[in-house]
Amino acid sequence: MKRNSQTLSQDLLQWFYENKRQMPWRETNDPYKIWLSEVMLQQTQVATVINYYNRFIERFPTIESLAKTPIDEVRKYWEGLGYYSRIKNFYEAVQTVHKDFNGQVPNDPKQFLNLKGVGPYTQGAVMSIAFNHPLPAVDGNVYRVYSRLDNDAFDIASAKARLHFEEKVLEDMPEAAGDFNEALMELGAVICTPKKPLCMLCPVQQHCESFEVGNVLERPVKLKKIKKRVEHYDVYLIENDGELLIERRPDGLLASMFQFPMFDTETHISNVESQLDMSLTLFNEPLMTLKHQFTHLTWHLTVYIAHTNDKKKASQHWMSREEKSQLTFPTSMNKIYERYLSSL
């Protein structure tokens, strides 16, 4: 079966216009808001993103309003959304747009691609949806749709997968490039799903080779396995005059967010005291244990409460309960803090 690009795009777009889900970023032509939505939607479900998006746009409705706000306040509006490098990169890119492009998202695809954190997918999505540039936006949904349409066994974990599937999208792309990209993603999200595809409701079923031969659930093919690293830490809730000791995370994972002091589980309490430069009275029984998953990493956290009477040092940051709402913590640390409050 050789798909007909014109009829496939017509069938898909007609279905999309009649059935597309209502989302706040589909009600605007503002490239800044479309860009924000695409950043938020990376690795995150639509239902989760909507509330974050609305709250973020209410506080930062323009490039200028975001660019002029300190990063710590901006992070607070991302707290709980995860993958925090996204907001760091987006914030830096917005600073560049504000400074070098007079606060206007560049409509030149090459200039947009050069911004911090913008890769081929984000470039294709934003440039096509906001400016209708005929660029593909290939994500997991699109891999799956085209793997099934063409009964294509190309390994989607391969480094060459993006270019392979971008060529397929470009073959079928109509004049309404942005709508077509959105329609492909919508099809993958609500019809051509990974485990229980709704093939009988699919608007492009007649174009689908995998449906014809009956191997829909065997596509796409992903050969490479991701091995997760496992790390074990002790977390210390150290009390002093009703306040808790906190620290900023270094560059890398969850960079610049706040956390309670964390040490490898092999670190003896005497070394903890030495590194923190204080004496501790430690409850031997842990407050809680917590398992937290990242994409390529799992944290196993054991949480202890400790007291210190040592005089507070200028280099240390002690947090009151009132200050907690003003600071940005990873989800794992927020769960720990909630458990701590419930224990008081």
Could you give the residue numbers annotated as active site?
38
Distances (CA, A) of 181 to 122, 215, 337: 12, 25, 42
Eight-state DSSP code of residue 255 = T
For residues 185 and 141, the answer to whether their CB atoms sit within 8 Å is yes
Q: How far is Cα 31 from Cα 276, in angstroms, rounded to an integer? A: 46
For residue 66, give the 3-state DSSP assignment: helix
Whole-number CA gyration radius for the chain: 24
In the structure encoding, which two tokens stand for residue 225, read together?
């396995």
| DSSP codes of every residue in 285-333 | S-SEEEEEE-SSEEEEEEEEEEE--SPPPTTSEEE-HHHHTTS---HHH
The DSSP string of 99-122 is HHSTT-----HHHHHTSTT--HHH
Q: How far is CA 274 from CA 234, 265, 270, 301, in A?
A: 15, 15, 6, 21
Cα–Cα distance for residue pair 274/279, rounded to 1 Å: 8
The helix or strand, by DSSP H or E, that contains position 49, with its residue range, turns out to be helix 46-59
| Residue 269 and residue 304 in contact, taking contact as beta carbons nearer than 8 Å | no
Instruction: Centre a 10 Å sphere on the Cβ of residue 198 and count the other Cβ atoms it contains.
Output: 11
Whether 168 and 112 have beta carbons less than 8 Å apart is answered as no
